A and B are shown apart, each in its own frame.
Chain A
Amino acid sequence: MIDTDIGLRNLDVVLGLENRIVYDLVDVVEGTCRLKQALIKDKRFEGLYLLPAAQTRDKLAVNPEQMVKLVAELENEFDYILIDCPAGIEQGFKNAVAGAKSAIVVTVPEVSAVRDADRIIGLLSAAGIDDARLLVNRMRPDMVKRGDMLGLDDTLDILGIDLIGVVPEDEKIIRSTNMGEPIVLMDKSLAGRAYRNIVRRILGENVPLMSMDDDSGFGARLKKLFGGK
């Protein structure tokens, strides 16, 4: 996993690996260290390594040719290389896209985000990536039901690409990032389950969309108790 958000490094804290960083992406492309020295092994997951972004530089510290070379080198060692792309459509985006073979576009069901996603899909296509799939994040089924949030069908209809998954809004995400423990390790988290399903789809499995009705909350249990669904 490569964090390409140079200057705004975050994957390290989200994964709880912040204390183990010695070298970063910029050190690798500038030849300050060897690639293997910069890779941080995540001891909880067999085969998962993080290449962290530099925190004190900016996006211009890396160029697309260097990213292509870096990814080619990583391909010798790894089956999947996840490139975390920064926000925006400038140099950081161009760097991330340069080394990518396919893409997952992450959006939330809001007007501004969906508009930006459409633009990103267009730019990916211009860069030769036509098989981008959509991940709809922070979905709130209760709001969709009330007619106050764009539903999945609407979002897919507007953007016109295939779906890789839907992640429901989940308070446990904050807990997970507070602790530096990935949400996929939390069995009872709906978002965690959604992410595990997405991983299986990336691996080529045909996994149906899960039900988003939270049946673990107090309200839902109360409803069950009184015979509601």
Chain B
Amino acid sequence: MAFGKRTSSSNVAKERLKLVLIHDRAGTSPSSNVMEMLRKDIFAVISKYFDVVESDFDVEIKNSSDMHSSGSTRLTADVPIRSIKSLGRNKY
């Protein structure tokens, strides 16, 4: 790192601000009830179709400029799937 480029603190500021403002504008905090309620609801829906474990399940709002080009704000749910449930149709 000695000769590498130092991290731009303004970029860090920008990313941090974008995130904090998402929650400010929504009137929520990253650890608020709203996020927890949303997590539970999404979990309930997904668990109808997939075998998932609630403790592995994570929902957050983030800026995706690092992952996709647009730099947009998105809700991501990280859901490890154990198996797909048989829904009673297409039985072989």
Chain A interface (Cβ < 8 Å from any Cβ of B): 110-111, 114-115, 118-119, 122, 144, 147-151, 154, 158
Contacts and interface: CB of A to CB of B under 8 A. Distances in A.
B9 interface: yes
A118 B21 contact: yes
Interface string B71-90: 00000000000000000000
Interface string B7-31: 0111101101110110011000000
B17 A147 contact: no
B10 A144 contact: yes
Contacts of B17: 111, 114-115, 150, 158
Q: Is the interface of A mostly helix, strand, loop or mixed?
A: helix
A150 B14 contact: yes
Given A118-B25, A119-B24, A122-B25, A147 B14 contact: no
A32 B11 CA distance: 53
Interface residues of B, number: 14
**Interface core residue of B9, B14, B17, B25 (most chain A CB under 10 Å):** B17
Contacts of B13: 110-111, 150
A115 B10 contact: no
Contacts of B21: 115, 118, 158
B10 A148 contact: yes
Nearest to B6: A147
B8 A111 contact: no
Contacts of B10: 144, 147-151, 154
Given A110-B13, A122-B25, A158-B21, 17 more contacts: A111-B16, A111-B17, A114-B17, A115-B17, A115-B24, A118-B25, A144-B10, A147-B8, A147-B10, A147-B11, A148-B8, A149-B10, A150-B10, A150-B13, A154-B14, A158-B17, A158-B18
5 contacts: A111-B13, A115-B17, A115-B21, A119-B24, A158-B14
Contacts of B25: 118, 122
B8 A118 contact: no
B8 to A, nearest CB: 3
Contacts of B18: 158
A102 to B, nearest CB: 22
B36 to A, nearest CB: 23
A-B pairs, top 3 by smallest CB distance, nearest first, are: A147-B8, A154-B14, A111-B13
A118 B20 CA distance: 11
A192 B83 CA distance: 67
Contacts of B16: 111
**Interface core residue of A110, A111, A158 (most chain B CB under 10 Å):** A111
A148 B6 CA distance: 10
A148 B25 CA distance: 26
